[in-house]
Amino acid sequence: MLNLERLRTLDALARHGSVSGAADGLHVTTSAVSQQMAKLEREVGQRLLAKNGRGVRLTDAGRLLADHAARILSQVELAQSDIEAQRGEVVGDVRICAFPTAARGLFPATLTSLRADHPDLTVRTRELEPEQGLRAVFRGDVDLAVVLDWSNKRLPVPGGLTKAELLDDAPDIAMPAGHPLADRDEVDLEDFADDPWVSWPEGEFCYDWLMFTLRSRGIEPRIAHLAGEHHTQLALIAAGFGVCVAPRLGRGPVPDGVRLVPVRQTMRRHVHVVWRADADRRPSVRAAVAALRAAGAGVAAGG
């Protein structure tokens, strides 16, 4: 009889590609992963892992069983969804991640609503960048992810995931108060062709978007500083070290010495929530989606 938790460990190994990755995804130690795999190998009577340099790889038998494990775990998810749907109660746990400004802008209202309407539901949240959030939902590490893309650069959503729109976020350009364009009512990105930029870190979706957008308009951006937090970016702008794109969602107080000017061209961040299609019938997931959408509508109405 195959043990479900050991199949879950094998599935995590197949998805993450390493013992340490599987351990992180399952929130256990690497020793626990190795022990579970050793027990699973004894249960099936075959080697499932083989040495691969300093790491491990799945054997043919391991890949075969991992394929079955993914399907079995998907069926378990469907069964849990059906049981929850049949009971009709919003209970248990739901795990939500979001990129930082969405976490700041949407989570307080979302959590307040869920606590008031569904007191028996435990909600756990964390911050993840959009591409990390998609992977976490796909792997089953979280139930929902709040992600974003831009009007001119979409974020591909893998098959098997469902998406719902939350709001559109219109960013501004942040510049020092003494900048020559600080008194404008609107600006174009081309107006800043010669300015140094403060950007998100390399490799993040919004950094790639900024480079793509500026280059598509004939601007080779001069990236002077990289900062993951918008508050850090705005602090650098206040000190006179460049300009940056400043989305409105979760922005918070703007430092003295910073001027925010809307961009004339249509430029929008589209904020979505995604979840696994096989969890669509879970009342807890539906309740969380509804609360996020209500929070998004509140932000849009206030903006």
Question: For position 217, what pLDDT does the model report?
Answer: 87
Cα–Cα distance between 182 and 80 in angstroms, integer?
55
Cα–Cα distance between 69 and 19 in angstroms, integer?
17
Query: What number is the average pLDDT over the span 173-190?
Result: 94
248-303 per-position pLDDT tens digit: 898 888 999 999 999 887 778 899 999 988 888 888 999 999 999 999 999 988 75
Task: Enter the tokens of residue 115.
Answer: 């606590």
Question: For position 81, what pLDDT does the model report?
Answer: 67
Question: For position 114, what pLDDT does the model report?
Answer: 97
Query: What number is the average pLDDT over the span 41-59?
Result: 88
Q: Hunting for tokens 């061209």 — which residue is that? A: 265
Cα–Cα distance between 77 and 73 in angstroms, integer?
6
Positive or negative: CA dihedral 59, 65, 69, 70: positive
- Report whether pLDDT(72) > 90: no
- Report whether pLDDT(12) > 90: no
Single-letter amino acid, residue 105: G
**What predicted TM-score, i.e. pTM, was given to this entire model?**
0.73
How far CA 102 is from CA of 200, 217, 290, in Å, comes to 15, 28, 16
DSSP 247: -
Backbone angles phi, psi at 121, to 5 degrees: -95, 130
One DSSP character per residue, the chain reads ---HHHHHHHHHHHHHSSHHHHHHHHTS-HHHHHHHHHHHHHHHTS--EEEETTEEEE-HHHHHHHHHHHHHHHHHHHHHHHHHHHHT---EEEEEEE-HHHHHHHHHHHHHHHHHH-TTEEEEEEE--HHHHHHHHHHTS-SEEEEEEETTB-----TTEEEEEEEEE--EEEEETTSTTTT-S-B-GGGGTTSEEEEPPTTSHHHHHHHHHHHHTT---EEEEE-SSHHHHHHHHHTTS-BEEE-STT--PPPTTEEEEEBSS---EEEEEEEEGGGTT-HHHHHHHHHHHHHHHHHHHH-
201-214 per-position pLDDT tens digit: 998 888 999 999 89
In this predicted model, which residue has the larger pLDDT, 243 or 217?
A: 243
Question: For position 196, what pLDDT does the model report?
Answer: 96
Burial environment of residue 168 by CB neighbours within 10 A (0 to 12, 13 to 18, 19 or more):
middle
Radius of gyration of the chain (CA): 23
Cα–Cα distance between 71 and 289 in angstroms, integer?
25
Strands in 92-98's sheet, in edge-to-edge order, are 121-127, 92-98, 144-150, 269-276, 161-169
Question: For position 139, what pLDDT does the model report?
Answer: 76
In the beta sheet, which residues pair with residue 199? 226
